[in-house]
Amino acid sequence: MMIALADVTLTLRGQMVVVGPGTGAPIDDLVVMESPREHIGGPGDLVLGVCLDTPKRALAAVERLGDRGAPGLVVRTRPAADPEVVAAAHRRGVALVALAENASWAHVIQVLREALNRAATGAPRTVADDLFALADAAAGLVEAAVTIEDARHRVLAYSSRQHRADPARVSTIVGRRVPAAVVSTLRAGGVFRRMARSDEPFFLAAGVTPDLGARFVVPVRAGGEWLGSIWCAVDAPPAAPVIEELRTMAAAVALQLLTQRAQTDLTRLVWLDRLRQSLVEPAADAATWLPTGPWRVVVLAGTPDPAGRPLSESARELPLLDLWVATLRRRGWPQPALVDVADGVFAIVTDAAPIARGREGHDPLARDGIAPSTVGRAGTWAWLRAAVEDVASAGCLVTACAATPSEVAADLPRARREALEVAELYAPHGDSTVRQADEVWPALTIARATRAVGGDRPIGPLAALATDPADQERDRHTLRAWLDHPGAPRRAAAELGVHVNTVRYRMDRIAALLDVDLDDSDVRLALQLLLRAHHTPDPFPPN
Reported as a single tens digit per residue, the pLDDT across 110-153 is 777 777 776 665 554 445 567 888 888 888 888 888 888 888 78
pLDDT, position 376: 63
Average pLDDT in the 287-301 region?
Answer: 86
Of 79, 78, 44, residue with least CA distance to 61: 79
What spatial distance separates the first Cα and last Cα of the chain, rounded to whole Å? Answer: 60
pLDDT, position 517: 84
For residue 354, name the pLDDT band (cuts at 50, 70, 90).
Answer: very low
Going from the C-alpha of 74 to that of each of 34, 48, 91, 120, 383, the distances in angstroms are: 13, 5, 17, 21, 26
Of 269, 271, 297, residue with least CA distance to 409: 297
pLDDT, position 122: 57
More confident residue, 160 or 392: 392
**β-bridge pairing 202-204 and 95-99:** unpaired
More confident residue, 338 or 172: 338
The rounded distance, in Å, linking the Cα atoms of 239 and 475 is 96
Domain boundaries, the chain: 3-109, 122-261, 287-439, 461-534
Average pLDDT in the 87-109 region?
Answer: 83
pLDDT at 366 exceeding the cut of 50: no
The rounded distance, in Å, linking the Cα atoms of 189 and 185 is 6
Which amino acid, residue 37?
R
Decide if 120 contacts 272 (C-beta within 8 A).
Answer: no
For residue 414, name the pLDDT band (cuts at 50, 70, 90).
Answer: very high
For residue 442, name the pLDDT band (cuts at 50, 70, 90).
Answer: confident
pLDDT at 487 exceeding the cut of 90: no
pLDDT, position 162: 53
For residue 495, name the pLDDT band (cuts at 50, 70, 90).
Answer: confident
CATH class, range 122-261: alpha beta
Domain 3-109 has CATH 3.90.1150.10: no
Of 271, 265, 299, residue with least CA distance to 285: 271
Of 350, 397, 392, 348, residue with least CA distance to 368: 392
Express the helix, strand and coil content of the chain in percent, nearest 5 each. Answer: 50, 15, 35
For residue 38, name the pLDDT band (cuts at 50, 70, 90).
Answer: confident
pLDDT at 450 exceeding the cut of 50: yes
pLDDT, position 466: 56
pLDDT at 1 exceeding the cut of 60: no
pLDDT, position 288: 76
pLDDT at 218 exceeding the cut of 90: yes
pLDDT at 224 exceeding the cut of 90: no
Tally the residues of the chain. 543
For residue 515, name the pLDDT band (cuts at 50, 70, 90).
Answer: confident
Average pLDDT in the 402-430 region?
Answer: 87
pLDDT at 537 exceeding the cut of 60: no
pLDDT, position 13: 66
Mean confidence (pLDDT) of the chain: 79
pLDDT at 369 exceeding the cut of 60: no
pLDDT at 367 exceeding the cut of 50: no
Per-residue 3-state assignment (H helix, E strand, C coil) for 36-91: CCCCCCCCCEEEECCCCCCHHHHHHHHHHHHHHCCCEEEEEHHHHCCHHHHHHHHH
pLDDT, position 23: 64
Share of the chain above pLDDT 90, in %: 14
More confident residue, 389 or 261: 389
Decide if 145 contacts 158 (C-beta within 8 A).
Answer: yes
Average pLDDT in the 151-165 region?
Answer: 70
- Max avg pLDDT among 73-87, 177-191, 259-273: 73-87
- Max avg pLDDT among 90-94, 161-165, 536-540: 90-94
Going from the C-alpha of 221 to that of each of 156, 251, 260, 517, the distances in angstroms are: 15, 8, 14, 83
More confident residue, 530 or 197: 197
Which amino acid, residue 474?
R
DSSP string, 329-347: HHTT-SS--EEEETTEEEE
pLDDT, position 216: 93
pLDDT, position 306: 66
pLDDT at 12 exceeding the cut of 80: no
* Distance from chain centroid for Cα 267: 19
pLDDT, position 372: 38
- Beta carbons within 8 Å of 64's beta carbon, 6+ residues apart: 39, 41
The rounded distance, in Å, linking the Cα atoms of 357 and 41 is 7
For residue 351, name the pLDDT band (cuts at 50, 70, 90).
Answer: confident
pLDDT at 540 exceeding the cut of 90: no
Of 324, 334, 319, residue with least CA distance to 268: 334
- Max avg pLDDT among 328-332, 350-354, 433-437, 466-470: 433-437
392: phi then psi, degrees, rounded to nearest 5: -65, -35
- Beta carbons within 8 Å of 393's beta carbon, 6+ residues apart: 369
3-109 and 122-261 share one fold: no
